[in-house]
Chain A
């Protein structure tokens, strides 16, 4: 029979690293709370009859958030044959609280004191026998990272018997019990990593320099991904272009029908080429994001920005999914599971897709090179535009009743900083490449081929050069009025936006397929920026939408989310285009100034009217229209 071993422990104690070592697979790790948000199963590398289950971290079995509840549900519905309680060896005092709860389950259990290599390095002695005797559970010191004692752990786990002991520590005395006993098991002293962290944090979260450093780090991330990625991407693009031309000549010489040549060269080769040229940029971005998460700087970002986010009614908790979203929106939406408060979680599912994911960043990179002389500032500005929009639209969401009570507390463990593991960063990249090849070979290819047929066929059949008779033209033309106010009301830009629903990379691919002079599609540089802003904020790609629908678990909320994101994108793009119009043409400047003044005075008038009623108590007016509610009289 299969044995099922479950890994349970505090957040960030190394469960996923242990899981990866045991199964030889790769699941994303990071040096902060809540990286694993759902259970993952895998086979033990050396014995496929042993199933290992990795679970989200939790501090206690009275769980509150979605990811923690998943652990409880798992233990209750399919009790594992053995629990491996993973402890962070550098912090037994806090980790043992969960252990005291776990032994009450009376399931077969083993304790793995992880990060043992750190203890050895710092000369900290650990008395495992004593701990084992106290708890009535076998205890093994291990290091998931350095692969220390890993196989021994499994062989002990497979022999584990249900926990038997007379220990019954009540909840209120648990920490007192731990405090007295832990002293006999281990004596901590300040480690080098801790000292380094204290010093580094003094700079990274400094009162004055903290924020500029954060801005600089983000700018550097985008700068590097654009410059390095753009450099290699250019070659890839060129390679595909040459291949496409060669194939074109070859197929034409062999008398292939024109549309077959078109499908092969334009749709398939160039389509994939466009997307493949994004790969280097996306890879650099992912590598740098992985470094931010693995080093522990992500937790510092949350620490620095919490106050800013709170001003907009969100907590630092909702920041974690936003940071993750900068890699991939799907993971970002999943990461909302760490938020206990239901309406804050919902709000974060709405807002996290604003952040520029890898694909969007690549699209912005292409736009920067194409229209803005390759300025990295443009791509970076998208990141801050996203942050700003999260703030503003988060505030607007709060106006809705369902989101009013959506601010949960900010309680976040600050892990020690540590150098990112090269192996983990490489694993992230390999996973990303696999994902990407899959995506390029499926969604992107499909969109590209579909686009080609829609562009080259119409009601009359094959239309070749008469684009204006094609299906695509009709679709784009039907939609273009929507985008007219944004400064790109033409069929080409419209279908480009439309194709972005499937995958954001397709936006550029479509633009390149439908026009050879993309700059003619936009009214001005501002319209181009408006277009980018619309791509940034409007509903994310299909994969993210599916995830969001699942996480929201409600059709009503999902539709509301789509409307919300579309409106947000539309308004911001509109604003940018209007500003553009005002800058470029003084006629518009005057026009909008007049409209603005009229609106402002109406608002001001309405406000003064309200204010006029403040004297309700002595009101002599006897205004029949006054229907101020009772409550107002008292104020």
Chain B
């Protein structure tokens, strides 16, 4: 399923990242790589962007990009 479809508080393991290359590289150097565990923390007031937790820190990204990240829900 897509990362953006997780419910608040749910975690999953990233399987694939199919965003634009620029975004993919940017996420990769921050540790959002295949195999990492991510947790959906919250959605912004307009439901977009979302805040996730990974590798002990918090990151905001847009639904548009989160839609292209496949996760396997725990």
Contact = CB atoms under 8 A, between A and B. Distances in A.
A176 B42 CA distance: 27
A57 to B, nearest CB: 12
Contacts of A522: none
A306 B44 contact: yes
B48 A306 contact: yes
A307 B29 contact: no
Given A303-B60, A410-B62, A94 B31 contact: yes
Interface in B3-51: 19-20, 22-23, 25-27, 29-31, 33, 35-36, 41-49, 51
Contacts of B44: 205, 210, 303-304, 306-307
Interface string A183-226: 00000100000000110011001111011000000000000000
B48 to A, nearest CB: 5
Contacts of A176: 35
Contacts of A484: none
B26 A409 contact: yes
Interface string A389-428: 0000000000000000000111111110000000000000
B72 interface: no
Given A208-B45, A306-B44, A409-B22, A414 B59 contact: yes
A97 interface: yes
B58 to A, nearest CB: 4
A413 B41 contact: no
A308 B46 CA distance: 8
Contact of B27 (A205, A299, A411): A411
B16 to A, nearest CB: 14
Contacts of A198: 41
Contacts of B43: 207
A398 B41 CA distance: 33
B35 to A, nearest CB: 7
Interface in A86-121: 90-91, 93-94, 97-98
Interface stretch (A59-67, A262-270, A322-330, A526-534): A59-67
B22 A210 contact: no
Given A205-B45, A306-B44, A94 B51 contact: no
B61 interface: yes
A126 B22 CA distance: 34
B25 to A, nearest CB: 7
A409 B65 contact: yes
B61 to A, nearest CB: 5
A316 interface: yes
Interface-central residue, A205, A302, A409, by most chain B CB under 10 Å? A409
Interface string B56-74: 1111111001000000000
A340 B21 CA distance: 14
B49 A306 contact: yes
A299 B44 CA distance: 12
B30 A94 contact: yes
A411 B25 CA distance: 11
A372 interface: no
Contact of B31 (A90, A93, A340): A93
Contact of B42 (A93, A201, A211, A412): A201
Contacts of A91: 55-57
A523 interface: no
Interface in A52-74: 59-60, 62, 64
B59 A412 contact: yes
A175 interface: yes
Contact of A414 (B23, B48, B60): B60
Nearest to A186: B56
B45 A175 contact: no
Contact of B22 (A64, A303, A414): A64
A304 B59 contact: no
A91 B53 CA distance: 12
B57 A410 contact: no
A307 B48 contact: yes
Interface-central residue, B47, B49, B62, B65, by most chain A CB under 10 Å? B49
A93 B59 contact: no
A17 B31 CA distance: 25
A257 to B, nearest CB: 65
Contacts of B45: 205-208, 210-211, 304, 307
A188 to B, nearest CB: 6
B29 A412 contact: no
Interface in A424-481: none
B30 A410 contact: no
A303 B33 CA distance: 22
Contacts of B33: 175
Contacts of B60: 299, 302-303, 306, 316, 410-414
A202 B42 contact: yes
Given A91-B56, A91-B57, A94-B31, A409 B23 contact: yes
Contacts of B31: 93-94, 97, 175
Contact of B29 (A62, A208, A299): A62
A95 to B, nearest CB: 9
Given A409-B23, A413-B30, A303 B41 contact: no
A197 B31 CA distance: 21
8 contacts: A59-B26, A59-B30, A197-B58, A201-B42, A303-B44, A410-B49, A410-B62, A414-B58
Interface of A: 59-60, 62, 64, 90-91, 93-94, 97-98, 175-176, 188, 197-198, 201-202, 205-208, 210-211, 299, 302-304, 306-308, 310, 316, 340, 408-415
Given A60-B29, A91-B55, A411-B30, 11 more contacts: A59-B30, A91-B57, A93-B31, A175-B33, A188-B56, A201-B51, A202-B42, A307-B44, A409-B19, A414-B51, A414-B59
